[in-house]
Amino acid sequence: MDKIIIRGGRPLSGRIAISGAKNAALTLMPAAILTEEPLTLRNLPRLADVDTFGHLLNQHGVSTLIEGHRRGEFGRVMTIKAARLTTTLAPYDIVRKMRASVLVLGPLLARAGEATVSLPGGCAIGNRPVDLHLKAMEALGAEIEVTSGYVKATTAKGLVGGRIEFPIVSVGATENALMAAVLAKGETVIENAAREPEIVDLANCLNAMGAKIEGHGTSTIRVQGRTSLHGATYAVMPDRIEAGSYACAVGTAGGEVELVGADLATLGVVADRLRDAGLEVEATEGGVRVKHTGRIQAIDIETQPFPGFPTDMQAQFMAMLALAEGTSHLTETIFENRYMHVPELARMGADIRVSGRTAEVHGVARLTGAQVMATDLRASMSLVLAGLAAEGETVVNRIYHLDRGYEHLEEKLSGAGADIERVSDG
Ligand SMILES: CC(=O)N[C@H]1[C@@H](OP(=O)(O)OP(=O)(O)OC[C@H]2O[C@@H](n3ccc(=O)[nH]c3=O)[C@H](O)[C@@H]2O)O[C@H](CO)[C@@H](O)[C@@H]1O
Ligand SMILES: C=C(OP(=O)(O)O)C(=O)O
């Protein structure tokens, strides 16, 4: 199994290219199921999750053709064509590898009138049920049956527009609802919709495919159903979580980096909190510049749905705040078990106490390298960030988590001056 070795203490400099967003890619790919015409996605990141989604689409009979690069863009171009679906079953073997697989439910149901999708089950960060996805499909007229670990959704006469009011904000359920509603008969109103930039990216892509969606980016989304959608070419938005993660790398390692391709607007409150912690963050012509200006200062953070502070940045901020002057409080409100990095950071000398949903981070003057491993993607990244600052050698094990969400991680960081390499155990 591969591991990453980091020898810490080298400030970062230069440029780091920001890839297309994993969480946008994973909802744009299933959108291709909604039409028999090709959907060409540009700026698609090279990630294990994108490959897994490709396999899932292929087993539904959908073709995925990688067409190389486009000049001036980092990611790949993929043309996805769902000319004909050979099966509407999304099997356990693929869904268990990647929760986002559940995003085929809405598009399969809308296109084929039926879908049988394995329940994704829990994962390292929490229980993560899909009840809201199912309620949304029911609100559009689907009949749902859950048996033997599978959701079977059917609609005898096709989906019909309706009112969906989510009791809590869910990114995935909003995405599934949108993808089902675009082919439902009549109007759908989604209340308490997620407002994440990835939702806006999905809605923009669906509109480019002929859908009629309004209000995306607000809590109320209105969809006028269409009888069919057509093909389109669409560029995946830049990854705001990857950009935020490398900004935190400047926070732990020091130095100054331009995050090329990053979008300051979608970083939102993350940029504000980076500044509160003492970093300089400003837009450049090609992205965002982040500069270390002295010791990181303690701050308090509570994770919330967008436009609040993203849960997907909590672990990376914790690594940075572990080295801050003063005591920070981090409160995780989205997932019940998202502190798996705490004991690993402690092995590197961090002083963090968790009580219920809140972690109290007492800043220390230095961290020391250690053997560490994490059980999820962002937790793994927090260990890399700590390793960049730590004295001596840090070995991050189980890095397949990182490959789910960070394209060319070692190349990007070593290109900015970090001493980091991937080694294989054989
Ligand atoms: C592929 C992708 O885009 N993943 C992101 C997506 O995950 P995902 O879409 O799974 O996250 P949700 O926004 O749905 O989850 C928010 C909360 O709602 C709960 N919930 C969700 C659905 C449901 O049917 N019932 C229910 O109770 C979840 O357990 C969680 O507590 O948004 C999360 C929150 O920003 C991010 O951390 C993930 O990176
Ligand atoms: C939790 C994440 O992803 P997923 O929803 O795919 O598990 C993440 O990107 O941090």
Q: Tens digits of per-residue pLDDT, 4-54?
A: 999 999 999 999 999 999 999 999 999 999 999 999 999 999 999 999 999
Average pLDDT value for residue range 325-344? 96
| pLDDT tens digits for range 376-402 | 999 999 999 999 999 999 999 999 999
Write the residue with the smallest CA distance to atom 1 of ligand 2.
312
Does residue 137 line the site of ligand 1, with CB under 6 A?
Answer: no
Written as one letter, the residue type at 27 is T
Pocket test for ligand 1, best of 101, 104, 105, 128 (most atoms within 8 A of CB): 128
Ligand 2 atom closest to residue 405's alpha carbon, by position in its atom list: 9
Does residue 145 line the site of ligand 1, with CB under 6 A?
Answer: no
- In this predicted structure, what is the pLDDT of residue 425? 74
* 423 exposure class (CB count in 10 Å sphere: 0-12, 13-18, 19+): exposed
Q: Which ligand is nearest to the CA of 311?
A: 1
- In this predicted structure, what is the pLDDT of residue 426? 65
Residue ranges around ligand 2 (CB below 6 Å): 22-23, 99-100, 312, 377-378, 405
Q: Which ligand is nearest to the CA of 310?
A: 1
- In this predicted structure, what is the pLDDT of residue 70? 67
- In this predicted structure, what is the pLDDT of residue 222? 98
Write the residue with the smallest CA distance to atom 9 of ligand 2.
312
- In this predicted structure, what is the pLDDT of residue 129? 93
Query: Cα(380) to centroid of ligand 1, in Å?
Result: 19
Alpha carbons 273 and 311: distance in angstroms, whole number: 13
The angle, 0 to 180 degrees and rounded to 10, between the axes of the packed helices 269-276 and 240-253 is 10
Query: What is the number of alpha carbons within 13 Å of residue 248 lying toward its C-beta?
Result: 30
Q: Indicate the average pLDDT of the chain.
A: 96
Does residue 291 line the site of ligand 1, with CB under 6 A?
Answer: no
- In this predicted structure, what is the pLDDT of residue 69? 72
Q: Model pTM greater than 0.95?
A: yes
Give CA torsion, residues 341, 280, 260, 98, to 10 deg. 20
Alpha carbons 204 and 27: distance in angstroms, whole number: 12
Ligand 1 atom closest to residue 198's alpha carbon, by position in its atom list: 3
Query: Is it the case that residue 74 has pLDDT exceeding 90?
Result: no
Does 130 show up as a binding residue in the annotation?
yes
Ligand 2 atom closest to residue 311's alpha carbon, by position in its atom list: 10
pLDDT confidence bin for 411, thresholds 50/70/90: very high
- In this predicted structure, what is the pLDDT of residue 298? 98
- In this predicted structure, what is the pLDDT of residue 73? 62
Ligand 2 atom closest to residue 26's alpha carbon, by position in its atom list: 6
Lowest mean pLDDT among 82-91, 363-372, 397-406: 397-406
- In this predicted structure, what is the pLDDT of residue 305? 98
| ipTM of this complex prediction, to 2 decimal places | 0.99
Query: Cα(402) to centroid of ligand 2, in Å?
Result: 11
Does 272 show up as a binding residue in the annotation?
no
Pocket test for ligand 2, best of 94, 128, 340, 378 (most atoms within 8 A of CB): 378
Clarify whether 205 is annotated catalytic: no
Q: Which ligand is nearest to the CA of 401?
A: 2
| pLDDT tens digits for range 188-208 | 999 999 999 999 999 999 999
Q: Which ligand is nearest to the CA of 404?
A: 2
Query: Cα(195) to centroid of ligand 1, in Å?
Result: 13
- In this predicted structure, what is the pLDDT of residue 374? 83
pLDDT confidence bin for 72, thresholds 50/70/90: low
Lowest mean pLDDT among 126-130, 182-186, 234-238, 380-384: 126-130
Does 129 show up as a binding residue in the annotation?
yes
Pocket test for ligand 2, best of 241, 312, 406 (most atoms within 8 A of CB): 312
The tokens describing 378, both together, are 């962002």
| pLDDT tens digits for range 242-293 | 999 999 999 999 999 999 999 999 999 999 999 999 999 999 999 999 999 9
5, 48, 89, 123: the active-site residue = 123
- In this predicted structure, what is the pLDDT of residue 71? 67
Does residue 335 line the site of ligand 1, with CB under 6 A?
Answer: yes
Pocket test for ligand 1, best of 23, 50, 105, 171 (most atoms within 8 A of CB): 171
- In this predicted structure, what is the pLDDT of residue 204? 98
